[in-house]
Amino acid sequence: MRLLWFNLATDIDDPILGFTSSWIREMARRVEFIHVITMRAGRVNLPKNVKVYSVGKEKGYSELRRAIEFYRHLFRVLRNDQIDACFSHMIPIFTILAAPILKAKSIPIVTWYAHRQVTPILKLAHHLSNRVVASAETSYRYKHDKLVVLGQGIDTNLFSPDDTQPDNPPLLLSVGRISPIKDPLTLIEAVRVLQQQGYKVHCALVGEAPEGDRAYAEKVRQRASDLGLEGVVQFVGAVPNQQVVQWYRRCFAHINLCPTGALDKAALEAMACARPSFVANEGFRETLGPWAADLVFRHSDAQNLAQKLENLLKMAKRKLQTMGEELRQNVLKLHSLNRLVERLLILFDEVTR
């Protein structure tokens, strides 16, 4: 099979989208060739049967020039190769731009979208796609008539436990950008409650604020300062995808504070490292299995989160170990990269037939 792959970013060092290189690498092991047209490119480290074409966002190209570059690359690929299927990952605008040409050539389109926003662009991309795929039903808020749920695609070889011992005092970790939807203020308030109750925990926020959320990030830092947590809450900044695994291995628990919606891969990466991951997103219940009662907290409820954290801090070491082992097994079963690629290949075969 020869694939056309649309990507938002192809850069192994990207702290948010670096994982897509792992996806492409795993897929490349099972197909003849992959042509990747990406909105922006950085450090590319992919097999020889993958070629990457950037439309130039990293070079500061305007939207018009990026559209021209997109079509230039698309026509070159279609002129020089026989494409069997197209996979569009988190970039529905590329689905829309390519659809008339690909449909004329009978090349099916499978679009991945996992986000709570439903935009006019997404609705049109949905209409133009043969199938839409997402990590969970809660991850896709539009029509489900074309939806196929595939899991999140976690690289469980990279995100895995080793002999690293959790920090002492216990480290509470949150990985993700600093923005209102990630709700770091609730975690900071919960840390204050634990400190007041005598628990010597510390907290690390790994991730940067997008440009539009810089003022919010400053508000978060100020709140930590106002609560006297400057030496307790650490703002780490962005960490490359391949290096964040060490933070998971060091932590006592990971906390994801997003509301119900798309499954945040950081929570699953932590579980793959055999670490408990607290979530407010009800979509995680299947993955958490019998541990859901311990690890699901009420969204934006710092007192409830602090209580759940306190219960875990009191939990016997052997029970904690069993929890971590079972959470990793659940990620392997439902969200491994190997499983995702296998199911995508079955889907590509289905839509091409």
Q: Per the domain annotation, does 163 fall within a domain?
A: no
Q: Per the domain annotation, does 138 fall within a domain?
A: yes
For residues 67 and 107, state if they share a domain.
yes
Q: How far apart are CA 116 and CA 103, in angstroms?
A: 28
C-alpha 31, offset from chain centre: 24
For residues 302 and 341, state if they share a domain.
no
Q: Per the domain annotation, does 164 fall within a domain?
A: no
Q: Per the domain annotation, does 98 fall within a domain?
A: yes
Predicted confidence (pLDDT) per residue in 44-71, tens digit: 999 999 999 999 999 999 999 999 999 9
- Give the bridge partners for 140, in sequence order: 115
Share of the chain above pLDDT 90, in %: 96
Q: Per the domain annotation, does 30 fall within a domain?
A: yes
Dihedral of CA 210/261/300/295: which sign?
Answer: negative
Predicted confidence (pLDDT) per residue in 191-230, tens digit: 999 999 999 999 999 999 999 999 999 999 999 999 999 9
In CATH, what number is assigned to the domain containing residue 327? 3.40.50.2000
Q: Per the domain annotation, does 288 fall within a domain?
A: yes
Check if the beta carbon of residue 153 is closer than 8 Å to that of residue 231: no
Domain count across the chain = 2
Q: Per the domain annotation, does 182 fall within a domain?
A: yes
Q: Show the domain range for 322.
A: 171-334
- What are the pLDDT tens digits along the chain (353 aa)? 999 999 999 999 998 899 999 999 999 999 999 999 999 999 999 999 999 999 999 999 999 999 999 999 999 999 999 999 999 999 999 999 999 999 999 999 999 999 888 999 999 999 999 999 999 998 999 999 999 999 999 999 999 999 999 999 999 999 999 999 999 999 999 999 999 999 999 999 999 999 999 999 999 999 999 999 998 999 999 998 889 999 999 999 999 999 998 899 999 999 999 999 999 999 999 999 999 999 999 999 999 999 999 999 999 999 999 999 999 999 999 999 999 999 999 999 999 98
Check if the beta carbon of residue 115 is closer than 8 Å to that of residue 134: no
For residues 194 and 302, state if they share a domain.
yes
Q: Per the domain annotation, does 158 fall within a domain?
A: no
For residues 104 and 183, state if they share a domain.
no
For residues 176 and 292, state if they share a domain.
yes
